[in-house]
Amino acid sequence: MWTPQQKRRLDEDCQILSEDPLSATTKLAPSPAAANDEIAVVAERGKVACRDYPHPRSACAKNPFSTTPHERHCDECFCYVCDIAAPCLSWRGLGGHCHASDKDKKRKTKRLMVKQAMQMG
């Protein structure tokens, strides 16, 4: 442990900054569940792959696949089947591509067929 004198010196050397002066920081709004959690994220630094870069709709961080309507998408979502920016022409409806993910064997096969057709034509 530190002696009181060492602790004072450490306190003088250490300053808590309100913001990181070297990079942009995004401040997050507290989530309602944060009150019950032991750890809460209050800010983040840098890019988040499934939010800030192109990603399949099923991996979207802005619109979680398990808790939001599948037809909803962000600006970076792409169609898993067609491999183009969402929404594709077959996006909506019961059998729409918005429901596709890498965990769905039927749609995974359809994705491979679309890719093969694109390579041939």
DSSP structural state of residue 55: E
pTM score over 0.85: no
What does the pLDDT read at residue 117?
A: 87
Where do the H-state alpha helices sit in 1-121? 4-13, 49-52, 105-120
What does the pLDDT read at residue 118?
A: 83
Q: Where are the domains of the chain?
A: 49-120
3-state secondary structure of 50: helix
Q: Does residue 96 contact residue 80 with C-beta atoms inside 8 Å? A: no
Q: How many helices (H) and strands (E) does the chain have?
A: 3, 4
**Average pLDDT, integer, range 5-26:** 56
What does the pLDDT read at residue 71?
A: 96
The model's pLDDT over 29-87, given as tens digits with 9 standing for 90+, comes to 665 555 566 777 777 778 887 788 999 999 999 999 999 999 999 999 999 999 999 99
The model's pLDDT over 75-97, given as tens digits with 9 standing for 90+, comes to 999 999 999 999 999 999 999 99
